[in-house]
Amino acid sequence: MASSSAGFVAGLTAAALATVGFLGWQASASLPPELGGAAKPTVPPAVSASKAPRDKKNPAELPAGTGSGPRVVYGLDDNRVWLVDRGDKVRRTFRVDPGSVDPAPGVYMVTSRSGSVTGTDGIPVEHVVRFTAVNGVSIGFSAQTGPATQPPDEGVLTGGIRESRPDGTAMWDFATIGRQVVVIR
């Protein structure tokens, strides 16, 4: 009897340690890089980090191989975003204007949001949804709210992926902290 109790306690202890380790990893993976989180994307096997196949007759169609579940899909080559609900139903798709720094293809999570700020290019923006950083440059979606307050310095690297105000509002409502962002070619 004592032997089976010891085995039971050892099993519970192992399970508890595994759970704590997983939760610690999960918490560190969701931190922004400047706070010690991972800057590189994680790519599950279900998501293709290479060029996702496109429907040539309907370029706004959600590309295959972008994962499953609710997610934001950002096509680097298309400069297009898809907001995808459960069941791979596209809630909204729209074109965007990328910054000068692109994220690597892969899977990220929304790590921070800001209601309104001034972008590194001097343009006031709103509904900022950040999901990674590349060499210290924050990468995220935002909507321009006004004219540039100064001409952008050509040497300034920008990670702002600009959307129209209506698209920015849709992104803000959909892409809460922890929402998956899939970046494809």
11 vs 137: CA distance, rounded Å: 45
Write the pLDDT tens digit of every residue in 134-182: 999 999 999 988 766 666 667 788 999 999 999 999 999 999 999 999 9
User: What number of CA atoms fall less than 13 Å from residue 15's CA on the CB side?
Assistant: 6
What is the SS3 assignment for 46?
coil
**Below-70 pLDDT ranges, the chain:** 1-56, 147-153
For domain 31-184, the CATH architecture is Beta Barrel (2.40)
Sequence spans of domains, the chain: 31-184
